[in-house]
């Protein structure tokens, strides 16, 4: 029997990673580190949204922040060309 190392972000936690192994367990440390950076960015965006958007619930801020963090490259392109935010995925560069 072979042994395989699996990685996950501590921010997700082992229990959550085991519940969602297809998206939260990684075969390389680099991929797990990339997920951790996304979650770190999402935490900062959550705090920003809660401070700047009156009436935004913590849950909604967390959901929005995670989407923004996961799509950070798209948002970076949107700073130059806003219409890319609403293009179908297959047309986005």
Alpha-carbon distance of 76 to 71, in angstroms, equals 9
Is residue 72 included in any domain, yes or no? yes
CATH number for the domain spanning 87: value is 1.10.10.710
Q: Are 11 and 33 in contact (CB under 8 A)?
A: no
pTM: 0.79
Alpha-carbon distance of 84 to 93, in angstroms, equals 8
- Check pLDDT > 50 for residue 92: no
Is residue 75 included in any domain, yes or no? yes
* Count of structural domains, the chain: 1
Structural domain span for residue 62: 35-91
Is residue 85 included in any domain, yes or no? yes
- Check pLDDT > 80 for residue 15: yes
- The position carrying tokens 């939260």 is 24
pLDDT in tens, 64-83: 999 999 999 999 999 999 99
pLDDT in tens, 29-59: 999 999 999 999 999 999 999 999 999 999 9
């Amino acid at each position: 029997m072979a042994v395989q190392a699996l990685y996950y972000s501590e921010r997700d936690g082992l229990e959550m990673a085991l519940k969602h192994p297809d998206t939260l367990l990684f075969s390389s440390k680099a991929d797990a580190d990339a997920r951790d950076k996304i979650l770190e960015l999402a935490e900062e965006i959550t705090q920003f949204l809660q401070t700047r958007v009156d009436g935004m619930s913590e849950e909604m801020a967390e959901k929005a922040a995670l989407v923004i963090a996961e799509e950070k490259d798209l948002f970076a392109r949107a700073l130059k060309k806003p219409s890319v935010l609403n293009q179908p995925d297959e047309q986005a560069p």
